[in-house]
Structure 1
Amino acid sequence: MVRTEVTRLSPYNSGLTIDEVMLRYAPARIAKLGSNENPLGPSPTLTAMMQAGAELFRLYPDPAGRELRQAIGARHEVGEDQVILGNGSEDLLSVISRAVLRPGDAIVTLYPSFPLHEDYATLMGATIKRVGVNSDLTINVDALIEAVRERPRMLLFSNPMNPVGSWLSAHDLSKVLDAVSDETLIVVDEAYAEYAEGDDYTSSLPVLGKRDRPWIVLRTFSKAFGLAGLRIGFGIVSDPELRGLLDRVRTPFNANGVAQAAALAALADEEHLAKVVALARTERARVENFLTSKGLEVAPSRGNFLFFNCRQNASTFVEGLLREGVIVKPWKQEGFDTYVRVSIGSPSENDHFMAALQQLL
């Protein structure tokens, strides 16, 4: 009685919890570096908000999330009627797929990918066209351009890429978007944009904002804003009409009241966000230097994580780290099962990871 498309999905690799590792190996301490969480946590202002917010638990939230949408719109210089909220940005991936994709439609995405980029499309009966990274794990821009010229129903990719960390420069992003036809919905997942800004990276928002075609940019409060447990994300949509249609597909209260209030507080604390990003960049460089010094291939990254080749089955390799109390994520997509994604944690967590890895090697 279950649709055939469901049987084509693989279980999502959500990573291990601290409790699971403690039950399995009982290490003296644990560094949780498998899910790209923010080691500094959310803005300290959230503590006072939670103590005074009993009504947030009792009442239904604003289904439109007006106050939060206004704040997001002001931050990104778009109208609030272009902003849609989700139970994490992954919820919006599901909303978009259900609203747009039909059986037999083609979706172009980068590979290896965040698995839900493919899963929701597969569930709708769409065909996945993967564009693999280059041998040096950078994005194959020419292949991506060639793929979008075939006029797929949707172009969906993350920038920076998850799990790899590679990114499109403003120039390459413009080249790709120039090749997209009006028949293709452009969806750019920018879950890690806060960590990537600067250097040769730019958000797609200013580039897409100048183009008269349908597009959606996804963001999240789970990463740099430290609200992973509250599940709150948002999309910025090219025009209010498209956002209104997507609104009909989402569940009415998909952004809970506590999450909305916490997101508002997090947006207002620019100082804390800057501290989070600065720590991630400094520690990412330190961990990357360590990995390369051990002769391991490491992908270039603008996220709060690194993707490296452990040169053996990653699931087996990771068990050795788990015994030492270090949680990382073995990648399980075809062709990349010797790769591991490690989140950038606090300095002490990163020291723990490097010491365990040194011992394992």
Structure 2
Amino acid sequence: MSKASEIVRAEVTRLSPYNSGLTIGEVMLRYAPARIAKLGSNENPLGPTPALAATLMADAEMFRLYPDPAGRKLRRAIAAKHAVDEEQVILGNGSEELLSIISRAVLRSGDAIVTLYPSFPLHEDYATLAGATVNRVAVNDDFTIDIEAMIAAVRERPRMLLFSNPMNPVGSWLSAGDLVRVLGAASDETLIVIDQAYAEYAAGEDYASSLACLATLDCPWIVLRTFSKAFGLAGLRIGFGIVGDPELRALLDRVRTPFNANGIAQAAALSALADEDHLARVVALASTERARVEGFLRGQGLDVAPSRGNFLFFDCRRNAAAFVEGLLQKGVIVKPWKQEGFDTYVRVSIGSPAENDQFMEGLSDLLKGM
């Protein structure tokens, strides 16, 4: 019988296992701490809109019947929210699935993509699986984005430019002016894909949503968004893309599975979109607590990247995997970063005040013992 590595495509063997982070159950089995602060996956501590419970109770048919495969009602609501045409909106089983759909539809063996580094690993993995070459633009020593290097890479006419803004895991972001410069360097041969999973948290004078900048371009583009983060629906897996060209959206639609956005997720997303007050509370809490945790980390003498996400990226100055194990024993789940060159870095999500207190207390105790 053939070895497994001889059965699958060579590109599969070049992928690393996805670091999805530990669950509460796994940590309980390992250490049984008195309480757990789950700060490894950038989840929303306030959860979804309180209106969600009533939404799910109102229509039991959504459990029995197949959902609308086109997701028309949700797509209309998203289009109205972002002032685009409904035909520009595509739904995904989380924005992660949309990354897969785009890569399968667009990338060919030998193509090149440009992305920022360190990156959300799936930005690279799906491209690698398609046989594409990944060209990384690393952040500067102060964690800012190297705009000149990014522009130079884009001028090489890659098949795709794919990056998150704000960046995951670093938290850095492009100002409107820098974004215009980067996008202006792209040719119509390059598909621009901007992952805005954390856009709700990024409000500020020097941050701008990509849609206004992209709308003036002739090249193809897609903006990805998710309901997993600020809207608190990570467990339901629902995201969407806004595609500049409705014809491109229709072609991408052929690649997704017909019922990829389940009925419960579609209904929940509609409730989440309608509750703007809850979203404002979520963002306000994240902003206040992010500043508090960042101040604590800097007070401990640690290097921290400025962030516009609901997370912080810091250098623990030792092997991050071993360091994080010490925090797990104290009931704190964070994510050690495993990409080359950043294995002393940790990403911590911004949780509730109590969860953040537990993290800071655990980290302080850990540093004192080292």
Write out per-residue CA displacement over residues 57-82 of structure 1, whole angstroms, 9 at most, x where no aligned residue.
Answer: 10000000000000000000000000
Please report how far the alpha carbon of residue 54 of structure 1 lies from its aligned counterpart in structure 2 after TM superposition.
1.6
Please report how far the alpha carbon of residue 257 of structure 1 lies from its aligned counterpart in structure 2 after TM superposition.
0.2
Aligned counterparts of 1:213 and 1:317: Cα–Cα separation in 2 = 45
In structure 2, which of residues 37, 50, 58 is the aligned counterpart of residue 52 of structure 1? 58
Please report how far the alpha carbon of residue 117 of structure 1 lies from its aligned counterpart in structure 2 after TM superposition.
0.2
**Which residue does the alignment assign to 2:3?**
none
In structure 2, which of residues 197, 200, 210 is the aligned counterpart of residue 204 of structure 1? 210
1:353 matched to 2:356: no
Write out per-residue CA displacement over residues 42-99 of structure 1, whole angstroms, 9 at most, x where no aligned residue.
Answer: 0000011122232111000000000000000000000000000000000000000000
1:224 matched to 2:235: no
Gaps of 5+ in 1: none
Aligned counterparts of 2:39 and 2:305: Cα–Cα separation in 1 = 17
1:82 matched to 2:94: no
* Secondary structure in 1 matching 2:45: coil
In structure 2, which of residues 286, 290, 293 is the aligned counterpart of residue 287 of structure 1? 293
**Which residue does the alignment assign to 2:305?**
299
* Secondary structure in 1 matching 2:289: helix
1:90-129 pair list within 5 angstroms: 90-129=96-135
Aligned counterparts of 2:70 and 2:218: Cα–Cα separation in 1 = 26
In structure 2, which of residues 38, 42, 50 is the aligned counterpart of residue 32 of structure 1? 38
Please report how far the alpha carbon of residue 213 of structure 1 lies from its aligned counterpart in structure 2 after TM superposition.
1.7
Write out per-residue CA displacement over residues 215-246 of structure 1, whole angstroms, 9 at most, x where no aligned residue.
Answer: 00000000000000000000000011000000
**Which residue does the alignment assign to 2:344?**
338
**Which residue does the alignment assign to 1:175?**
181
**Which residue does the alignment assign to 1:2?**
8
**Residues 110 and 131, structure 2, Cα contact 8 Å, conserved in 1:** yes
Please report how far the alpha carbon of residue 197 of structure 1 lies from its aligned counterpart in structure 2 after TM superposition.
1.8
Please report how far the alpha carbon of residue 198 of structure 1 lies from its aligned counterpart in structure 2 after TM superposition.
2.1
TM-score, reference length from structure 2: 0.97
Aligned counterparts of 2:291 and 2:59: Cα–Cα separation in 1 = 39
**Which residue does the alignment assign to 2:151?**
145
Aligned counterparts of 1:201 and 1:53: Cα–Cα separation in 2 = 39
Q: Which amino acid aligns with 1:27?
A: P
1:156 matched to 2:143: no
Aligned counterparts of 1:257 and 1:25: Cα–Cα separation in 2 = 37
* Secondary structure in 1 matching 2:192: strand
Aligned counterparts of 1:147 and 1:79: Cα–Cα separation in 2 = 31
Please report how far the alpha carbon of residue 133 of structure 1 lies from its aligned counterpart in structure 2 after TM superposition.
0.2
Please report how far the alpha carbon of residue 199 of structure 1 lies from its aligned counterpart in structure 2 after TM superposition.
2.6
* Secondary structure in 2 matching 1:219: strand
Write out per-residue CA displacement over residues 125-154 of structure 1, whole angstroms, 9 at most, x where no aligned residue.
Answer: 000000000000110000000000000000
In structure 1, which of residues 250, 257, 260 is the aligned counterpart of residue 256 of structure 2? 250
Q: Which amino acid aligns with 1:17?
A: T
* Secondary structure in 2 matching 1:60: coil
**Residues 56 and 267, structure 2, Cα contact 8 Å, conserved in 1:** no
Aligned length: 361
Aligned counterparts of 1:197 and 1:298: Cα–Cα separation in 2 = 20
The percent of aligned pairs where both chains have the same amino acid is 80
* Secondary structure in 2 matching 1:5: helix
**Residues 162 and 194, structure 2, Cα contact 8 Å, conserved in 1:** yes
1:166 matched to 2:172: yes
In structure 2, which of residues 281, 299, 321 is the aligned counterpart of residue 315 of structure 1? 321
Please report how far the alpha carbon of residue 209 of structure 1 lies from its aligned counterpart in structure 2 after TM superposition.
1.0
1:190-201 pair list within 5 angstroms: 190-201=196-207
* Secondary structure in 1 matching 2:43: coil
**Which residue does the alignment assign to 1:240?**
246
**Which residue does the alignment assign to 1:132?**
138
**Which residue does the alignment assign to 2:4?**
none
TM-score, reference length from structure 1: 1.00
Over the aligned positions, Cα root-mean-square deviation in angstroms equals 0.5
Q: Which amino acid aligns with 1:135?
A: D
Aligned counterparts of 1:121 and 1:55: Cα–Cα separation in 2 = 38
**Residues 186 and 219, structure 2, Cα contact 8 Å, conserved in 1:** no
Aligned counterparts of 1:213 and 1:335: Cα–Cα separation in 2 = 33
